[in-house]
Amino acid sequence: MLGRKDYTEEELEHGRAAVKQQLALFEKVVPAGDAAGPARDDFEVMFFNSMTLVLDRYYVHRIRAVAGKDTNPLNEVELITESLMSNGGIFQTNKVIKYVPENSVVKLHDGDPIRLTAKDFDRLSTAFFAELAERFGES
């Protein structure tokens, strides 16, 4: 598929709804609280790291000219996804994106293990969809 410079509101809403459903299901199946422990924590990280891959996949063909090269949630998700897939889950930047951890959503630095929680993913996906709508929404 060729790169995308825009997405319809229907495409954006489909992704938002899928993410919202996954977050709700996680909280229903794996409730927080007294039962929380290391196994829940490990599952939470695995689940939300994987959900970041899913989030990226919905809109994987976004073009750089629109996404930009700055630190924004779209590029943050791209870097996290690439690091999960190709760098053993250790966050790694690249030479294309001018990534500044302080300007990012989850504040990862080069070399940090990627261990996203439900709260991290909720913040990241919310910021991702806002940026996606702003940069790629139909004019």
Structure tokens at 75: 């590029």
- The pLDDT-based confidence of 33 (bands split at 50, 70, 90) is low
Q: Is residue 23 included in any domain, yes or no?
A: yes
Sorted by sequence, the CB contacts under 8 Å of residue 119 that are 6+ apart come out as none
Q: Is residue 55 included in any domain, yes or no?
A: yes
What residues are paired with 137 via a beta bridge? 7
Q: Is residue 97 included in any domain, yes or no?
A: yes
Mean pLDDT of the chain: 93
Q: Is residue 67 included in any domain, yes or no?
A: yes
pLDDT digits (tens, 9 = 90+) for 69-110: 999 999 999 999 999 999 999 999 999 999 999 999 999 999
Structure tokens at 2: 């060729």
pLDDT digits (tens, 9 = 90+) for 48-59: 999 999 999 999
Residue 64 and residue 96 in contact, taking contact as beta carbons nearer than 8 Å: yes
How many C-alpha atoms does 127 have within 13 Å on its Cβ side? 18
Q: Is residue 128 included in any domain, yes or no?
A: yes
Q: Is residue 48 included in any domain, yes or no?
A: yes
- The pLDDT-based confidence of 139 (bands split at 50, 70, 90) is low
d(CA 31, CA 105): 24
Q: Judge if pTM exceeds 0.85.
A: yes
Number of domains making up the chain: 1
Q: Is residue 49 included in any domain, yes or no?
A: yes
Cα 72 to chain centroid distance, Å, stands at 11
Q: Is residue 89 included in any domain, yes or no?
A: yes
